[in-house]
A and B are shown apart, each in its own frame.
Chain A
Amino acid sequence: MSTAGPEGANGATTLRNAFGGVLSFFILLLIGVLAFSIRLFSVIKYESVIHEFDPYFNYRVTQFLTKQGIYEFWNWFDDRTWYPLGRVIGGTVYPGLTLTAGTMWWILNSLNIPLSVETVCVFTAPIFSAFASWATYLLTKEAKGVGAGLTAAALLAMVPSYISRSVAGSYDNEAVAIFALIFTFYLYIKTLNTGSLFYATLNALAYFYMVCSWGGYTFIINLIPMHVLLCILTGRYSSRLYIAYAPLVVLGTLLAALVPVVGFNAVMTSEHFASFLVFIIIHVVALVYYIKGILTPRMFKAAVTLVVSVGLVVCCAVVAVLVALVASSPTKGWSGRSLSLLDPTYASKYIPIIASVSEHQPPTWPSYFMDINILAFLVPAGIIACFLPLSDASSFVVLYIVTSVYFSGVMVRLMLVLAPAACIISGIALSEAFTVFTRSIKFQLPGLSLGSQVESGDVTSSVAVAQNSSTAVARNDVAKAEKAQEASKTRPSKKNKKKEKDIVEKESVTPHSDRRHLILPMEASVISIFLLVLLGAFYVIHCVWAAAEAYSAPSIVLTSQSPDGGLHVFDDFREAYAWLRHNTDVDDKVASWWDYGYQTTAMANRTVIVDNNTWNNTHIATVGTAMSSPEKAAWEIFNSLDVKYILVVFGGLVGYPSDDINKFLWMVRIGGGVFPHIKEPDYLRDGQYRIDSQATPTMLNCLMYKLSYYRFVETDGQGFDRVRRTEIGKKHFKLSYFEEVFTTHHWMVRIYKLKPPKNRIRGKTKKLKSKGSSKRSVAGKRNPWN
């Protein structure tokens, strides 16, 4: 923090700034501690364990990295997933998270701090959310000053949307990617404000880290060009803009192409074209400005007409070629996930596998209030604040919030991108509000001694005084207050201001007049501050509740509150995976729906057919088809894939809603997308999905139904499914091609084994005569099949 205020060095101001700096530092430190510790509820309430599905894969990859080293990791061909195709992990994974955690583990180990890899993985996300809140501080500080920065950082530290993806144990890409995203934006703004090539280079490196970490990097490489274009269109082109953008595109693209999973996509796919287009445009604009500088106005005019006419022709040709190229590819060069961003109905129409993931669904309104809470109300105020005055930085923030609101409306998952933007904007709004109110109070505090003669309760007079501000005393006070405000608030963005002066001379005057109008009455200010603090308190309460109750469940261990207040723990998943690990051969293949693939490989260490990396639709469709087929066809499919065991998740006994029967229609859809003999209407009775006695025969005979409800009637004598809240349709049946080998304590995971082909093939003769029921049942067991 420089001590040089706008009005020169002043001893008192220096001290004040020093205190301010120290205070900010400690506030930031505390924000970091808050961000870290609010995410530890999951560890305290459950245990230090990796959560959910994808984190298990990341954990397994990290283990591999720490054991085998980076080159083995880079070249890792995993033969335990997607059997028999295998998966080239090194070339299909975003390595940022793994490398980060691996490096942290390595550093700790070389410092003789022997933490397990799992511990490091569990705590990576909370650590990086502290980093993310600091990055938010930096970004907002660049845009609107220290106060807004601190507020935004505090908001981000506990925004529920981000907590949901970064509690301890949620070891997923987003954990580090959000930090990388904000930090990249910060460096972009910093470069824009300073015009420093050093920051531009750092920006490219931060972008590289983001590319390493998450597929969401395309958001950056589209948002920044949009902002550059916006600046050019609004006449804000400057050499700083050029420095902020051109190196990012060149270095960033080169670096992005180094990440194996991106590779040539960095120059081949449509997601990146916007950046190249803007790259061309900014050069054209730079050239125009340069030529404008060296030519006389008349010659410039002539040159413009010449260039524009030639340029239009060339442009048309290039655009035609581009359109032809892009149109020749079947998906128009866009990947399915990106297309579903532009057309939210795309995925559900064409790609069931994308639509089947719950986090790819559009969010509902309540989820906004759940995930960003009061920020939803503060954002509009913040946007207004960003326009007073509009700088390059604040226009970027506005653009960021606008685009991310759109994207969050498309996919629940992208709420995560909205959350930092909402925090920044809300931070600005809150900080501006506090500035106005405290200034109002501060203005009236010296006026309190002055106004003690007048009437402290007379609101209108003080307002009149404030609004008129014609007396010299008042004016001095206002000026002093403004200076103080300026010293504390606008000093960090003095470069901002300088730049503004370049373009719009008037702006330096307008804030003064604005502020003069923003002096509010004392009582209104006090009450408003009180209300704002109350609002903040509600936010904090909501966030703590969300962190403690809503988002801390690791989803592999479930708990439920029994009526007498006791806690019931469902640890069925780990029970099943442990059974697989200890009771099956190490090379056995386990088939399940793809949701459980990562967990099976990581926890049971068994080969799986499909997993959560849904790269091969046909393979998933094969498993979906098998699950939707009758027993015999399913047996043949699984046998052709060398499957030994089948794992199904069944929640009907304890009322666990996200079980395989509830996901089953997706299996039918995905299977039917590749194998047309599986038709969705066959599984629906009058368009309704049901499993009771009204269900269709196809439904009642498909493998998933049978494996889920086999022997279910033995539990309560009726076969009442607590998830679907109905009695099952077919209660007593036998399995002839599969045998049950393990069912967990609460029946949540059931494991079946494929029966081997029968040793003998029975003849055709029926039982000769009635030989008594006992013999008949023996014969029934020996069903003929091969």
Chain B
Amino acid sequence: MATKPLILAVVLQLLPLLCNSFSPESPTNRRVLVLLDDVAVKSSHSFFFKSLQSRGYQLEFKLADDPSVGLQRYGRYLYDVLILFCPSVERFKGAIDPAAILDFVDSGHDLIVAADTNASDFIREIATECGVDFDEDPSAMVIDHTSYAVSDTEGDHTLIASDDFVKSDVILGSKDIAPVIFKGIAHTLNPANRLVLKALSASPSAYSANPKSKLSNPPALTGSDISLVSVVQVRNNARILITGSLKMFSNRFFRSGVQKVGSSSKYKKSGNEQFLAELSKWVLHERGHLKAVNVRHHKVGEGDEPALYRINDELEYSVEIYEWSGRSWEPYVANDVQVQFYMMSPYVLKTLSSDKKGLYSTAFKVPDVYGVFQFKIEYERLGYTSLSLSRQIPVRPYRHNEYERFIPAAYPYYGAAFSTMAGFFIFTVVHLYNK
């Protein structure tokens, strides 16, 4: 019994070490807090949790109304990832409110949110702050009469099968995924919002309405505007997954077969498990996380980085870019990484050539303009974290002794000057001594 406080003390000592957000230095052994409405969810959704645990995450389950629950202690976050599987919770008893969760995200941590019918304002507010708008009608669900999933009992077509995935190998992996079954509420995204992305959209015939009541007005949300699963990558590269269905994580959906109505191909197993596993890999930074290191530039033929360049210098620029694979940093291979030599607008824009081992390099000539330039890399690709590097470097004009000493075009003037001097000398001699 006496060992308990001791262990606690040790744990407290280690907490700062354990509780880092995703960082290039210690990306493994990440701690996940799962907040549940109901303890039953832990077992009914156990496949999803097991897949996380098998990938090395330490899951901690708490009831949403547990008053002891807290995201940070002594100014440090206790967890790296937060999973909100508590769609109906109105408010937490512990020290968690929407602002705390958003601060958690803003300090670089990942978040998975699953809503469901009758989602609480709490969940809606978090989603809205992240750029996802759930249907305002609390009892509305996504209904699709043309691409619902064929099930044993003819239902109200709220169980839908969709295979309209985001076309990105980075987010969903390269393997094909069977249609995903979904039963939940719809949300929309602001098209102007560049940070948020539909991972799974509804078919054009879908709409959002209360299945139990008759449609009196045309539904507000229709067609492929409706997003079923969305992912957000905010500006500090924290990632968020938001879905309108908690059931799609459930063991039952993972195991059930799927057949889209009107489609002959019947899948033995729905795509849910693969889809969510791949998506969670992306959200938890096991894929698509880039880092750029060793930015170097120097004059051609020299090794050291100068404090400033002169106009018309030849220079070489190189940077190493790696991608996190879940276990280690692997070289990132692409042919579209560009560097700008930038002063209010890019004066030089060059594509970097890769050596396939992560090293990107190029060489160019400094433009004939002086000023304070920047080497800029703005690399934003779908699914990847955005790389934004800039390094300031002044470019100076020629020094007084770096110009050409004699200009060929000026030889007539040199000739004129010297001949005048000689002529004046002769004139003086003649004038003085020719009496």
Which residues of A approach B to under 8 Å, CB–CB? 71, 74-75, 77, 79, 83-86, 88, 90, 587, 640-641, 757-765, 768-769, 771, 778-779, 782, 786
**B380 CB within 8 Å of chain A:** no
In the complex, chain B residues whose CB is within 8 Å of the CB of A779: 125
Residues of B within 8 A of A765 (CB): 124, 128, 133-134, 136
> Counting chain A CB atoms within 10 Å of each CB, which of B102, B106, B344 scores highest?
B344
**A759→B236 contact, CB < 8 A:** yes
**B48: Cβ under 8 A from any A Cβ:** no
Q: Are A760 and B371 in contact (CB under 8 A)?
A: no
In the complex, identify which listed stretch (B9-17, B244-252, B318-326, B391-399) lies at the interface while the others stay far away: B391-399
List chain B residues, Cβ under 8 A from A79: 308, 372, 394
**Chain B residue contacts of A758, Cβ below 8 A:** 235
Option from A640, A759, A764, A782 in Cβ contact (under 8 Å) with B190: A764
Residues of B within 8 A of A760 (CB): 102, 105-106, 129-131, 195, 232, 234-235
Contact present for B235 and A762 (CB under 8 Å)? no
CB distance from B48 to the nearest CB of A (A): 25
Give bound CA distance, A133 to B24, whole Å: 71
* A-chain residues with CB within 8 Å of residue B189 when the two chains form the complex: 763
- Beta-carbon nearest neighbor of A76 in chain B: B396
The verdict on A762 contacting B370 (CB below 8 Å), with A75-B400, A77-B396 known, is no
- Contacts of A640 on B, CB cut-off 8 Å? 344
Contact between chains at B397 and A763 (CB < 8 Å): no
Total inter-chain residue pairs, C-beta < 8 Å: 90
> CB within 8 A of B129: which of A641, A769, A782?
A782
In angstroms, Cα B234 to Cα A761, docked, is 8
Q: Which chain B residue lies CB-closest to A587?
A: B392
Interchain CA distance A763-B195 in the complex, whole Å: 11
- State in angstroms the CA–CA spacing of A513 and B195 once bound together: 100
Tell me if B121 and A759 are in contact (CB < 8 A): no
* Residues of B with C-beta under 8 A to A764: 133, 190
CB-CB under 8 A for A769 and B121, given A85-B371, A759-B236, A760-B195? yes
Whether A84 and B371, one on each chain, are in contact in the complex, defined by CB atoms closer than 8 angstroms, is yes
Supposing A74-B400, A88-B397, A778-B99 touch, asked if A83 and B133 sit within 8 A by C-beta, the answer is: no
Name 22 interchain pairs, CB-CB below 8 A, sorted by A. Answer: A77-B370, A83-B372, A85-B371, A86-B394, A86-B396, A88-B397, A757-B235, A759-B105, A759-B234, A759-B235, A759-B236, A760-B130, A760-B195, A760-B234, A762-B130, A763-B128, A763-B129, A763-B130, A763-B133, A765-B134, A771-B121, A778-B99
Pairwise interchain contact B105-A763, C-beta atoms closer than 8 A: no
Mask, B70-90, CB within 8 Å of A = 1, is: 000000000000000000000
A74 contact set on B, CB distance < 8 A: 400
**Closest beta carbon of chain B to A774's beta carbon, Å:** 10
Bound form: Cα–Cα A786–B130 in Å? 13
When the two chains form their complex, are residues A763 and B190 in contact, meaning their CB atoms are under 8 A apart?
Answer: yes
A75 to B398, CA, bound (A): 8
Asked, given contacts A84-B373, A640-B344, A761-B196, whether A77 binds B121 with beta carbons under 8 Å apart, the answer is: no
Known: A77-B397, A760-B106. A86 touches B370 (CB 8 A): yes
Measured in the bound complex, the distance between the Cα atoms of B129 and A761 in whole Å is 7
Complex contacts, A587 vs chain B, CB 8 Å = 392
B265: which A residues are within 8 A, CB to CB? none
A782: nearest chain-B partner, CB-CB: B129
Interface size class of B (residues with CB under 8 A): 35 or more
Nearest-neighbour CB distance to chain A for B347, whole angstroms, equals 11
Beta-carbon nearest neighbor of A760 in chain B: B234
Q: Which residues of A contact B23 (CB under 8 A)?
A: none
Given A79-B372, A760-B232: 13 more A-B contacts, CB < 8 Å: A75-B396, A84-B374, A85-B371, A86-B371, A759-B106, A759-B238, A762-B131, A763-B130, A763-B132, A763-B189, A764-B190, A765-B124, A786-B194
Contacting A at CB under 8 A, from B173-217, are: 189-190, 193-196
Alpha-carbon gap, A71 to B400, bound state (A): 9
In the complex, what's the smallest C-beta–C-beta distance from B162 to chain A, in angstroms?
A: 22
Residue of A nearest to B373 (CB): A84
Report Cα–Cα, A75/B394, bound state, in Å: 14
Considering the complex, which residues of chain B in the window 362-413 have a beta carbon less than 8 Å from any beta carbon of chain A?
A: 370-374, 392, 394, 396-397, 399-400
Contact at A763–B121, with CB atoms within 8 Å? no
Which residues of chain B from 104 to 147 have a CB within 8 Å of any chain A CB? 105-106, 121, 124-125, 127-134, 136
Residues of B close to A769: CB separation below 8 A: 121
Q: Cα distance A75–B134 when bound, in Å?
A: 63
B130 to chain A, nearest CB (A): 6
Q: A599–B371 Cα gap in the complex (Å)?
A: 21
Contact B235–A75 (Cβ < 8 Å): no
Which of A83, A85, A641, A768 sits near B121, CB closer than 8 Å?
A768
Q: Could you say which of A88, A761, A782 contacts B193, with CB atoms under 8 Å apart?
A: A761
B292 lies within 8 A of chain A by Cβ:
no
**Across the interface, which residues of A come within 8 angstroms of B399, CB to CB?**
75
Q: Are A84 and B344 in contact (CB under 8 A)?
A: yes
User: Closest residue of chain B to A640, judged by CB?
Assistant: B344
**Complex contact A84–B124 (CB within 8 A):** no
B343: Cβ under 8 A from any A Cβ = yes
User: Which residue of chain B lies nearest to A83 when distances are taken between CB atoms in the complex?
Assistant: B372
Whether A84 touches B190, Cβ cut-off 8 Å, given contacts A77-B397, A763-B129, A768-B121, is: no
**Residue of B105, B236, B370 ringed by the most chain A CB atoms within 10 A:** B370
Chain B, 94-107, contact with A by CB distance < 8 Å: what is the 0/1 string? 00001100100110
CA distance A442 to B124 in the complex (A): 108
Query: In the complex, what residues of A have CB within 8 A of residue B190's CB?
Result: 761, 763-764
Task: State how many angstroms separate the Cβ of B77 from the closest Cβ of chain A.
Answer: 16
List, in ascending order, chain B residues with CB within 8 A of A771's CB: 121
By a CB distance below 8 angstroms, the chain B residues around A641 are 344
Shortest beta-carbon distance, B27 to chain A, in Å? 21
B128 touches A762 (CB 8 A): yes
Given contacts A759-B235, A759-B236, A763-B190, are A85 and B372 in contact (CB under 8 A)?
A: yes
Question: Shortest Cβ distance from B17 into chain A, in angstroms?
Answer: 26
Bound complex: CA A760 to CA B343 (Å): 28
Q: Give the CA-CA distance A765 to B186 in the complex, in Å.
A: 14
Q: B196 — which chain A residues lie within 8 A by C-beta?
A: 761
B99, B105, B125: residue with the most chain A Cβ atoms closer than 10 Å:
B125
Q: Which residues of B contact A83 (CB under 8 A)?
A: 372
CA distance A75 to B99 in the complex (A): 55
* Residues in B neighbouring A761, C-beta threshold 8 A: 131, 190, 193-196
Residue contact A77 to B235, C-beta cutoff 8 Å: no
Q: Which residues of A contact B131 (CB under 8 A)?
A: 760-763
Could you tell me the distance in whole angstroms from the C-beta of B108 to the nearest C-beta in chain A?
A: 9
Closest beta carbon of chain B to A638's beta carbon, Å = 13
Bound together, the chains give a CA A640 to CA B98 distance in angstroms of 33
Measured in the bound complex, the distance between the Cα atoms of B189 and A765 in whole Å is 10
Among B105, B134, B238, B371, max chain A CB count under 10 A is at: B371
Q: How far is the CA of A122 from the CA of B113 in the complex (A)?
A: 67
Cα A84 to Cα B98 with chains together (Å): 41
Cβ distance A99 to chain B, nearest Cβ, rounded Å: 15
A84 to B344, CA, bound (A): 7
In the complex, chain B residues whose CB is within 8 Å of the CB of A786: 194
Instruction: Report the bound CA distance from A272 to B233 in whole Å.
Output: 64
* A507–chain B nearest beta-carbon distance, Å: 36
The residue from A88, A757, A782 contacting B370, defined by CB atoms under 8 A apart: A88
Alpha-carbon distance A759/B103, docked complex (angstroms): 10
**Lowest 3 CB-CB distances: which A-B pairs, in order?**
A79-B394, A77-B396, A84-B372
User: What is the CA–CA distance of A587 and B394 in the complex, to the nearest angstrom?
Assistant: 12
B235 shortest CB reach to chain A, Å: 5
**In the docked arrangement, what's the CA distance between A768 and B396, Å?**
57
Residues of the A chain whose Cβ atoms lie less than 8 Å from the Cβ of B133: 763-765
Q: Nearest Cβ distance between residue B370 and chain A, in whole angstroms?
A: 6
CB distance from B26 to the nearest CB of A (A): 23
When distances are taken between beta carbons in the complex, the residues of chain A under 8 Å from B374 are 84
Q: A768 and B372: CB pair below 8 A?
A: no
Using Cβ atoms and an 8 Å threshold, which residues of chain B touch A77? 308, 370, 394, 396-397
Q: Which of B301-348 contact A (CB under 8 A)?
A: 308, 343-344
Q: How many whole Å from B313's CB to the nearest CB in chain A?
A: 14
